[in-house]
A and B are shown apart, each in its own frame.
Chain A
Amino acid sequence: SQWGEENLQALSIQEGEDVTMNCSYKTYTTVVHWYRQDSGRGPALIILIRSNEREKRSGRLRATLDTSSQSSSLSITAAQCEDTAVYFCATDPLSGSFNKLTFGAGTRLAVCP
């Protein structure tokens, strides 16, 4: 399969804490997408990092990509209650002329009680 972790992971933190979510992939990709899914909604892209980038920032989000170890991480600084969601990473293993994303199982993040 594409992913190192097959089952949904779960994290619970307090507001104001920093959190990092990891994913590993087995097939070469030129880009890693990170999507956020709120309850009852479809996933929405929050940050995208390409293979020529080691780090990408967007507001309180920071994504990293290590192509040598085929892993990526998403960090949220000073988490807020509204960050509660499921976070997925996705890759394009074919890296061809079209998008055909493969999604990991995701991490369910709970912030606040």
Chain B
Amino acid sequence: EAAVTQSPRSKVAVTGGKVTLSCHQTNNHDYMYWYRQDTGHGLRLIHYSYVADSTEKGDIPDGYKASRPSQENFSLILELASLSQTAVYFCASSWDREGERLFFGHGTKLSVL
């Protein structure tokens, strides 16, 4: 079974602080994604990557940066965390084929105070 591991599982951050969320996949997948989920809503795409050392903006990239140092690792960076970034963040990976399924991690619950 494909595996996507996120760390930490939960985090409390202060407004204006820097937050880094990490994701590691052992699937040998080309594509990796960061989604955000707010209570009562679906997932929204923040950033994605289809190759190491390259990232692309998703639908809601403002306030977030991403880093893909290797095929296995994909990080989401909040340089100046804000209250509005309180949410659950999911990392996912997929094969490089149209219509392929996404494999999600368990999520990181981020609370910005």
Contact = CB atoms under 8 A, between A and B. Distances in A.
A40 B106 contact: yes
A contacts with B: majority SS: loop
A35 B40 CA distance: 15
A44 B101 CA distance: 9
A55 interface: no
A100 B99 contact: no
B104 A92 contact: no
Interface string A66-103: 00000000000000000000001000100111111111
A45 B102 contact: yes
Contacts, number: 69
A96 B98 contact: yes
Interface string A51-64: 00000000000000
B43 A88 contact: yes
B90 interface: yes
A103 B35 CA distance: 10
A92 B89 CA distance: 20
A42 interface: yes
B40 A98 contact: no
B98 A92 contact: yes
Interface of A: 3, 7-8, 30-31, 33, 35, 40-45, 48, 50, 88, 92, 95-106
24 contacts: A3-B42, A7-B41, A8-B42, A30-B98, A30-B99, A31-B98, A31-B99, A35-B102, A40-B107, A41-B106, A42-B92, A43-B43, A43-B90, A43-B104, A44-B104, A45-B102, A48-B101, A88-B43, A97-B96, A97-B98, A98-B50, A100-B48, A104-B42, A105-B40
